[in-house]
Every structure is written in structure tokens, then in C-alpha cells.
Amino acid sequence: MNIASPAMEIAIARLDRDGALLEADTRLAALNQRAGGAVGQPLAVPQLATIVRLAGRLGIGISRIVVAADGDDDLELMVRAEPDGDGVRLEVGGWHVQRGWRAPTLDADRDRDFLRADADWLWETDAALRLVHLSSQAAFRHGFDPASLLGQPLTRLFALVDNGEGAFPILAAVAAQSRFEGQEARLRLTGEPVMLAATPRIDPGGRFAGFAGAARIVAPDVVDPPADDADPDHATLPPQFGARLDKALRGPLARIIANADSIAAQFEGPLSSDYVDYASDIANAGRHLLTLIEDLVDLQAIERPDFTVSLEAIDLADLARRAAGLLSVRAAEAQVRIDRPDADEQLAATGDFHRVLQILVNLIGNAVRYSPTGGMVWLRIERDGDRACVIVADQGKGIAPEDHERIFSKFERLDPTEPGGSGLGLYIARALARSMGGDILVDSAPGQGARFVLTLPAR
């Protein structure tokens, strides 16, 4: 049996440097005990133990959503582990119980797989159509707390719309205890149009237990303008192409990456090293494709005549430290050190916080990629008159002077045989910098590393 408590309760535990459990809140201690563990011994829940070991080894906080077995049920848990003194602090929330019911036919399983493939996020109800689960994507996309809606009627989340003939597909499905699709609705919290579909949940006794459903955000129709005046030498993408591409591919790719990472991390138990390597390759390929999609979306955005950025007061030293932190795992894997500005350093500038962070992640990521094993990437800040500057310097093979402008060209890569991105990163980064009244400069020579300088108006 699972301990009854609120769905989003946070349970906390402390572990020593060897991963042995020192103390834990009641709910987490009980889960560990049911898995065969005890205080003073290593965590017995493999998924939690893996995250604890990873946080301790890397020396950074790690957050993951995992599914762990608990008797006949599965638990969906939101887990965070971070170094704490000589040990690790573990926080576990979510505690969503995925009951051990199974649909009576293979066709129902296949239907749910199809629903998941086209979903922006997932939901489940009980037989009275009260919400018993909302996937975490719902919170990320729309900013509301799924826990506050659990136990509420489905219609508290969705305002249902008839099919134009006064009928509601979901009501017919309730009566027939069958699958439905094409139910139009609107999110009450945001007004966004959504399309609902679901398959019935059947309990072990063969009784209707509710719906396992999917919600898909309905994008407004966009009519592309005529191309009569198009410049034949400058091909352009139709409006909303980037948004459509992002919507169509981001969700499936994110699921591929998450599942491949879970396999590679061996959350469900040990695997052959070959399969672990295959899973890592799949996850890395997925991340590469996701980066390409993000670049294409940004490319279309910055080339629109109405593209603007929000200018605000920012601290370039803080942003440099944040960008370095985001790349710390990648740098550690490449055995490259990042020397970031000290915690007390500040440099006031004017720019768009998120866009400047995006630029710095690109510049530092390139520096890490092209640095030799055991190399160093330096981040320095300085003020030059009315310019605030962040300098990113590496120990890579350098760039010939005749290529200094070429690297900022669209889809340009100096050596296509090297692993890397789409050839859009520096083009987008410089365009963003210039849209904020700044620029990106490069100083490099073969064999002498590279030195990129982001400049912005100083405050």
C-alpha cells in the first residue's frame, strides 16, 4: 500500500558521500523500506540512487522526472538531488500513482500509443470524470499547478465545445464507455483552443474506470502571403513555418531524448554496454536535431521585419556565470574547465536577458567544443567607454583572419567534417547582438585559439 498524502508533497532525505541514507521523511523512508532498504544502507530505489550518485559525482544539482515501482503500482516522481556539505540532499515530490490496471485488448494499448504520439500533454480521469493525473508538460506550457486541479471535474480544466450539431463526442463516449476523438474545447485558464481525445480505462474487474486522454493545442490557421514580390535570390520561409516545425517535432524529439537518456542511465536496471551506448547515441542525435529546430525557429524570427527585443538593465557578469553553469556538464564530459567571473563581479549593460544568455551559451558552447582535452575556456568582463564586453577565449586550433567574417555567414561551417551545429549559431548570435545595439567581434589566428567579444551598450 502507498502512504496516503497530498499528491505534490515534498519528501526530503539526506545521504552521505557514499550514498548511504542518513535520514528521510516518513513517506520517502517507507518507499525505501518497501524496496528493501534501511537507514545506514544505500538507497534501495534504483531510480533515486542513480540521480543521487550523478549529483554527487558531478557536484551539481540534478532534477529528473522518474517512474519507480511500488508494489503493484508505479509512482511518477519529481526528483532533485544536490550536493550538501559532505553528502547529498534529496527532494522527492509528485507522488502520482499510476495504478496497475490494464486495458483488456491490445487494440486499446495501441490506441493510447497513438494518442501519446500526437499529444502536447496527457490527462486521466476516474469514472466520474474527475482529474486524477495531468502530465508535467501542462504546467510547463501553461504555467498552472496540476496538483491544484487533481480531484476536480474535467470541465474545471476544459470548457467543452459542441460539434456544431449540439453534440459532444465525450458524452457519447461516456455512455458507450468507448474511445472518442475530435472533442473541441478551450482551456479555462488561458482561453487557448485544444482538441481532446481519449481511450477508456478499464479496471481489473472489467469496469469503466475513466479516461486516459490527450490534449493537443490547436494552432490558429495562418494564410501565407503571395510570393509575387519575392526576391528570387533570397529564399524565405512562409510565416509561422518555424512555429509549425517546432510544434510538430519538439514534443516527439523530447520524448525520444528523455527515454533514451533513461535507458542510458540504466534507471530500470543494468544493461549491456552496447545498448547503453546505442541509447546515448540516440539521445545525442535527438539533441542535435532539437538544436537545429531551435536554430531554424530563431532564424525565421530574426529575419522578420517586425522582429524586436526587449531592452532592460542586465548584469553581464551574472549572465556569463549563468551560461557557464548551463554548460558545466558538457564541459566536464569534454574535460574542459570554464573559468568564469567571480561571484562579486558585476557589469551593468542594456539588453534582452534571455537573448544575451542565448548568445553566451552559443559562444561558450563553441569554445568548449573546439577546446582540446584538458583545455581551459576563459570568461572575462570589461568596460570599454560606453561598451560593456564579455570576452570568451579558448585554446582551440584558431581561425584564420580571412575566415573571421565567413564564420558569421548563414549555414557556414569552416570544416563540415567536424562535429558541430547547423552553421546558424554565430549568424543568429551576431544578429541578436546587433538588434540590441551591440556586436560580436572575433580575434584569432591558426594555432592560437579564438577570442570572441560580445559588446552591448553599458549602463
Residue 224 lies in a domain: no
Verify that 386 and 354 share a domain, yes or no: yes
Give the integer Cα–Cα distance in Å for 231 and 215. Answer: 40
Torsion angles phi and psi, residue 34, rounded to 5: -65, -25
Confidence of residue 141 (pLDDT cuts 50, 70, 90): low
Q: Which of the pair, 236 or 154, is modelled with greater confidence?
A: 154
Confidence of residue 268 (pLDDT cuts 50, 70, 90): low
Q: Which residues contact 416 (CB under 8 A, 6 or more apart)?
A: none
Residue 307 lies in a domain: no
In CATH, what number is assigned to the domain containing residue 368? 3.30.565.10
In CATH, what number is assigned to the domain containing residue 91? 3.30.450.20
Structural domain boundaries, residue 426: 312-457
Q: Which three cell numbers stand for residue 184?
A: 473541441
Verify that 47 and 151 share a domain, yes or no: no
Number of domains in the chain: 4
Give the integer Cα–Cα distance in Å for 101 and 42. Answer: 31
pLDDT recorded at residue 225: 47
Verify that 67 and 195 share a domain, yes or no: no
pLDDT recorded at residue 235: 46
Residue 6 lies in a domain: no
Global model pTM greater than 0.85: no
pLDDT recorded at residue 228: 46
If DSSP codes are grouped into helix, strand and coil, which group holds residue 429? helix
Verify that 335 and 423 share a domain, yes or no: yes
Q: Which three cell numbers stand for residue 10?
A: 515534498
pLDDT single digits (tens) 30-68:
999 988 889 999 999 988 988 898 888 888 888 888 888
pLDDT recorded at residue 99: 57
Share of residues in the chain with pLDDT > 70 (%): 79
Task: Please provide the average confidence, as pLDDT, over all residues in the chain.
Answer: 80
Torsion angles phi and psi, residue 195, rounded to 5: -120, 130
In this predicted structure, the answer to whether residue 438 has a pLDDT above a threshold of 90 is: yes
Verify that 112 and 74 share a domain, yes or no: no
pLDDT single digits (tens) 334-373:
899 999 999 899 999 999 998 899 899 889 988 998 899 9
In this predicted structure, the answer to whether residue 243 has a pLDDT above a threshold of 70 is: no
Q: Residue 452 in contact with residue 442, Cβ under 8 Å?
A: yes
In the chain, what is the straight-line distance between the N-terminal and C-terminal CA atoms, in Å?
A: 60
Verify that 134 and 196 share a domain, yes or no: yes
Confidence of residue 423 (pLDDT cuts 50, 70, 90): confident
Most confidently modeled range among 2-6, 256-260, 327-331, 433-437: 433-437
- Boundary-marking domain end, from 98, 130, 164: 98
